[in-house]
A and B are shown apart, each in its own frame.
Chain A
């Protein structure tokens, strides 16, 4: 067919010609950024719109607007602080959208070093956009605060000049997103992350005194921090900015926030009546609650055929009784909602931890990620090495491959049993012990040889060396050393300090008993026999 042939012909064309015909996906080649781009960009909104967008933040929004003042009013630096997901960044950006004032936003999370931070701010002020024509480089190279201050002063001067000349034309209408006024605002987000940077305390001092160093009344500085201002106190002292606090949402605010954008508000309100109070006792963070609620709401609506109806009392009771068994276990999960409602609690009573119910038993049985057989054995070996004292290795792992004569025959008195329990608990409390690599490998070889014979068969299949040289063990050894390093990367093993006498590196196992039990169960390995109990 002619059409196919022509398409085939284009496919066979050379690389250079095909690169010409491909559409160059550079959307902004012709668009040079101007001063007008320093604002939020969209249409400006009224104060009422901002207030209704953020329920529960009324006083903070009005405070912020008052602190920033009317047009062209000089302002002292402001610091906005509060814990995560309390709406700090979005409130600041929406308020600036309402006021239509030019600003430069940079987050210390994406700009993770001083050089990137300074260059990002300068790029925005110098209206420079990184594109292929300049090789995606910044306008100016700047990694020291001294250079930054000089370049910033220049760039701000240019921007303010162009704002002043631009505002000569009368612009009575505020709603077209063009910048108003002659002041420029610098917003630094996630300032608390600077503490972990290299020389972070110097950079923080510099940021706090930026306003005094520059001495430009047309500059406003807003700092957003996840930590309260008292963590920034250092022995150098600084002129602290004006603080503005964003508290966590109260229950009433959370209810309003969750009710927004819901298709069926009455149904969701009934749902919230059931779940909000118990979950608020655990955490009041918005992002954690919203992940749980979204999956719980789906469960809640399961018995309903029509999601658009508003429920009456009877239906509410029915839905509540359907959801009720899920709530308690869901309170104990962090991100998941278990899919099987439990039916029958008898097996759960034998568990020591009262919070797990029987439905979690299946999840307890299996590991929810995949590990190779040798890695599982290594994990168990590490766990045993951390739990058992080293002096007992010889008797535990003797050539018969197991211990079976550790059980005490005589009946111990109650007091000594109690003492032993306390001693055991104290040993558990001290945490996992450390062990050198040789001990780990020795235990591993011991238990791996005890393990099921299929392990040995696998080895023989993999080994293709025709010379019967003892390559088996060597292959195994290098493989195992690789596995040790990957377990270290996955944080199942950590390197603790080296022993001062021996000088070799010691490892410590971070595996919890549950995980070791799961791994052992999947290999049908009798872990309990090897655990040392006093």
Chain B
């Protein structure tokens, strides 16, 4: 290891990776324009704070499109603008979908904000009474409580007691509260019960993937280094120059187009850039097009192909036998029928790879562990292992491709697969 790592390279790597892992930095330029979701959301919440009314909104969009990030930006700005009249309660559907947990968590966060003592032994009713009382008090003091419900669709499962009590309290008690729900299901509001839906104002903000120009702007925003004095002089300009060269290259545009054809959310772009930046050559401290190409190929994984490539030759034989049985119109087959097919192949082609029953059973287990085959029915062990019907989990073309790229697949297997 005789090459020197430039310390500036490490610093720039740290800086860029830190930016990529910080959602609020990523979404700031996207929120700059006046008709973006950021400004819409900010308008709604700030009006309800200033006018002292209740409100409820849903933020909907696919995963990784920045709902939580934009919400954090808005909340951060509001906390600066109105420091004393906003308090924030955060709930997550994955953690708090159970009503007990949810009420306990709300009570705990309220206690923490207002410096009250929280008792872990409080029951559900006590917690809900406490919450209603706090809502009334905060309403009288003109303080708005913002409830953020992540994974809103998880709260809409079951009896929806939390949603009902929150929305009901907002309507009946003198309270000032805003309920903001975030969900990746675009039909989250259809999941609500009738009485909950009637108390819910049907405001929805959709988060759509950004356009191509916005993506280009985002790339530049993420990858260009600031021209401050912590970096050596020529380095920053060289780095930014290289970035400009790469982004204007048509090959890079092709790479981006391939990426966006698969997944056009901001999150996948972030992962792509993260991977590319991690491959940065630390000796020169500059990014190159090969980094981005390697990042793209590592994002395009094909696990079933990899599984087939990892199989031993006996396992390939068994897969080919199953495929042949499938061709003969049997949709699920038992191990003994596969073994019969295996024996027929051995007899007709005189292959050298004929092994005993227990070795083949072990090979079946390996295939099942890799999720290349599975049992068709799971209703318990009503049959012994050799008589349970199984089926293939990969298609014929994947099997073909996998076998062709296998390191040492015997030619006879490919012939058998094609008949």
Contacts and interface: CB of A to CB of B under 8 A. Distances in A.
B366 A283 contact: yes
A353 interface: yes
A389 interface: no
Interface stretch (A72-80, A105-113, A373-381, A394-402): A72-80
**Range, interface on chain A:** 35 or more
Contact of A242 (B64, B275, B314): B275
A132 interface: no
Nearest to A149: B95
Contacts of A76: 20-21, 271, 274
Given A146-B101, A355-B354, A510-B384, A283 B369 contact: no
Interface in B288-315: 298, 301, 303-304, 306-307, 309-310, 312-315
Interface in A339-390: 353-356
A332 B13 contact: no
B286 to A, nearest CB: 16
Given A84-B369, A213-B92, A73 B306 contact: no
Given A73-B18, A83-B369, A242-B271, A283 B310 contact: no
A332 B104 CA distance: 61
Nearest to B307: A228
B108 to A, nearest CB: 8
Interface string A127-161: 00000000000000000111001100000000000
B267 A282 contact: no
Nearest to A48: B1
Contact of A73 (B13, B309, B370, B407): B13
Contacts of B267: 239
Contact of A75 (B17, B307, B357): B17
Given A213-B92, A237-B63, A497 B382 contact: yes
A481 to B, nearest CB: 22
Interface stretch (A9-17, A62-70, A116-124, A521-529): A62-70
A227 B98 CA distance: 30
Nearest to B313: A281
A494 B381 contact: yes
A285 B384 contact: no
A419 to B, nearest CB: 17
Contacts of B95: 144-146, 149, 206, 213
Nearest to B64: A239
B94 interface: yes
A21 interface: no
Interface string B377-400: 000011110110000000000000
Nearest to B92: A213
Contact of B17 (A74, A228, A429): A74
The main secondary structure of chain B at its interface with chain A is helix
A334 interface: yes
Contacts of B337: 429
A166 interface: no
Interface in B309-351: 309-310, 312-315, 334, 336-337
Contacts, number: 159
A284 interface: yes
A431 B334 CA distance: 10
B359 interface: yes
B66 to A, nearest CB: 12
B387 A282 contact: no
Contact of B407 (A66, A69, A250): A250
Contacts of B306: 228, 245, 247
Given A75-B17, A239-B267, A494-B384, A66 B356 contact: no
Contacts of A239: 63-64, 267
B356 A356 contact: yes
Interface in B90-115: 92, 94-96, 98, 101, 104-105, 108
Contacts of B366: 83, 283, 285
Given A243-B301, A283-B366, A285-B366, A66 B278 contact: yes
B68 interface: yes
Interface in A202-245: 202, 205-206, 209, 212-213, 217, 226-231, 236-239, 242-243, 245
B36 interface: no
A423 interface: no
13 contacts: A74-B17, A74-B18, A76-B20, A144-B98, A145-B94, A146-B105, A209-B94, A237-B62, A238-B63, A250-B407, A251-B407, A331-B355, A431-B387
Closest 5 A/B residue pairs (Cβ): A431-B387, A228-B303, A332-B356, A146-B95, A74-B21
